[in-house]
Amino acid sequence: MTLNQERDVKLGRLREFLQKHSLDGVYLKRQDNFAWLTCGGINYVGLGDMGNAGLLVTKDAQYAVTNTIEASRMKIEEKLEEMGFPIHASVWHDLQGESNILKKLVPGGKLGFDHGNGLGENLTNDLRLLRFSLTEAEIQRYKEAGYLTALAMEETIAETRPGDTEHQVIGRLVQRIRGVGMDCVSAMCAADNRISDYRHPVPTEQKIQKRVQLGGNIRYKGLIVCCTRNRSFGPISAELREQYRKTTEIDCVLMANSIPGKTFVYALEAGKKAYEAMGYGVEFDNHHQGGPIGYQARDYRVDFATPGVIHENQAFCWNPSITGTKSEDTVLATSKGIVPLSNPILLPTITLEVAGQTFVRPAIWEA
């Protein structure tokens, strides 16, 4: 599948969206939606929700809208015009420039947006559904992203030593990530007691003594991979090893029940039952369990009110935790079973059989 073929699939989805919502055009300016429609493009200077260039799709045409600062890069490096998006740019200090271009391109028409805009309705929650079923080309990019992310995490944890601070570990991870053209959306590191103390261990100056946990969300060509890796400097106790295995098995239950056509809640309920069966029912309430991932770190943090069903070829990252242990990797849900995207590369592994599927998961590295 070429980039233009992938783009055409997505334009087709958008035009069906226009018809369904009785719109004359839809304007995408969020970083995630821009990356999705341009097959991995970048419309931002800094990480956030919104970009500096937008894409307008009508019933029979498509355009790029930006300002004089960004226009040349959008043309030369993002190749928007080659992808079929003629660029319309306003002077950077014209505060009404974008609105005037949209009004000119869709005179008197009804517009929808992926953000708040006075010219039309904010349809971001409906638009995100168009991204859920990944194309063949996206799956290939996601596999590459998963490999690069897991390798960066594991190389970083491999060179970590007692006495290193959490900040130093994150610094090495980010250097690796940026060195291969990836963005660090979030990164967390916990040393020793902080693994149990906090579900979201923002890195500090605490020095590592016996254990370290490293994880985060890494973006590559718009697609986000999330995973966590653990290392112990010396053997772990039998109790910790068994708890980690149970945490990993709960993760596998959540994955195995991420079945296209089933609801998100179906998978979550299976995970909750697994916590209870393992004897850790109370832990379910101590942290969200994750959910679908893709062009956002989580499209939903699934709870019991989350609507909708799982799509074919939809990415997931569940993140079950029992105080002191966590399991987290990015996978693809398909009608033929789970396809792992961030496989362990350097770490020892655990092999588990769950619901007729074999899962090879990273173990705590004891070295």
pLDDT band at 255 (very low <50, low <70, confident <90, very high): very high
Rounded to two decimals, the pTM is 0.96
Q: What is the pLDDT of residues 24-44, one digit of tens each?
A: 999 999 999 999 999 999 999
- Per DSSP, helices labelled H in 160-304 are 166-179, 193-197, 238-256, 264-277
Element (DSSP H or E) covering residue 5: helix 3-20
Cβ-Cβ contacts under 8 Å for 71 (sequence gap 6 or more): 87, 89
Mean pLDDT of 118-143: 97
- DSSP of 47-78: SSSEEEEEEEEESS-EEEEEETTTHHHHHHTS
Choose among 252, 210, 261, 236: nearest CA to 354: 252
Separation between Cα atoms, residue 167 and residue 187, nearest integer Å = 10
Q: How many CB atoms lie within 10 A of CB 302?
A: 24
CA dihedral of residues 159, 330, 318, 227 (deg, nearest 10):
10
Measured between alpha carbons, how far is 177 from 10 in angstroms, rounded to an integer? 28
Q: Which residues contact 308 (CB under 8 A, 6 or more apart)?
A: 129, 263, 264
Task: Provide the pLDDT for residue 1.
Answer: 81
Q: What is the mean pLDDT of residues 81-98?
A: 96
Asked if 231 and 344 touch (Cβ cutoff 8 Å), the reply is: no
pLDDT in tens, 11-21: 999 999 999 99
Task: For the chain, give every domain's residue range.
Answer: 3-131, 136-366
Question: CATH number of the domain at 3-131, please?
Answer: 3.40.350.10
Among candidate residues 111, 174, 131, the one with its CA nearest the CA of residue 313 = 131
Token readout for 236 is 């772990």
Cα dihedral value 101, 105, 107, 110, nearest 10: -100
Structure tokens at 53: 């260039």
Task: From the options 3.90.230.10, 3.40.50.10480, 3.40.50.1110, 3.40.50.1820, give the CATH code of 136-366.
Answer: 3.90.230.10
Q: Is-same-fold flag (3-131; 136-366)? A: no
Q: What is the pLDDT of residues 153-170, one digit of tens each?
A: 999 999 999 999 999 999
